[in-house]
Structure 1
Amino acid sequence: MAKDVARRPEVESLRAADGDRHAIAEQLKAALDEGRLSLAEYDERVRDAYAARTYADLLVIVADLPKPGLSAAEVKARQAAEARRAARRLPLALMVLWTIWGALGAVNLMVWALVAATVEDDVYLWPVWLLVPGVALAVTTVGVQTIRRQGRRR
């Protein structure tokens, strides 16, 4: 429940149901059992959970807690994996450029193949010239990713 709501801020203003409050109370119980909360803090948070009116009120109560059953090492490992995925993700502009280049390459190869199939003479492989902008795009991509990686290390 909490993960789905966290992705859609407009839902946070909706009223929470008793089942939602109970699910948060169960998450708090698991955190108490794992030693993440003291008994006093658990009591306070459970009281706040059952008094919560909206999803936003509920999410604040468990915002600093990992999912039940996760150790601190697992949480750190997941955060590190997410950071690595974000670092590998291409910027939108480069994704658009690669998509355009790929579409142009596919169209050129198809046209060349149709021409080569219908003409009796050998046909010059003109789509090979698309490698020039492809190499330039690859170099740019590597440069951008390198700069982004160096920026994250600082």
Structure 2
Amino acid sequence: MANSPEMRASDADRDRVAAILREHTAQGRITMEEFHERLEQLYESRTYGELAKLTADLPDVDMRNLPAKKSAAPAKKDEQHAGMQAAWGAWAAASGINWVIWIIVSITSGDLIYPWPLWVMGPWGVILLVSTVFGDNKPKRS
């Protein structure tokens, strides 16, 4: 059954028209001032006919197939993804803490003790290095 202009509109109908008006504002077809004026009229509208008048001078917008928004800063090819950066950060933090503990123990004991932090940071660092050099450095998409 087709919606006649005299039929009452629902809140969901008004929300759809509001989304369309937002999209036209984002695309530069209407100014923010016009957007706010139309939005006020939108929430005072009661029928489909009144809703149709708000977008009569605007082209149809397919809300399902909007263009993807471009990111503000394009990612560089050689840039590591966030997971690899976090792994290196965790390695650096753990290594730093272990070296501080080693220095404190060496100073308080009066002897230079065996540098055991190398056993913590060595294998972990080698795995990270191999992953960084030979990995694809792209985040996995599911």
TM-score of the aligned structures, taking structure 1 as reference length: 0.40
- Look at both structures and tell me which one has the larger radius of gyration over its CA atoms: 2
Flag the structure with more relative contact order, 1 or 2, with Cα contacts below 8 A and sequence separation at least 6: 2
TM-score by length of 2: 0.43
Between Structure 1 and Structure 2, the one with more helix by share is 1
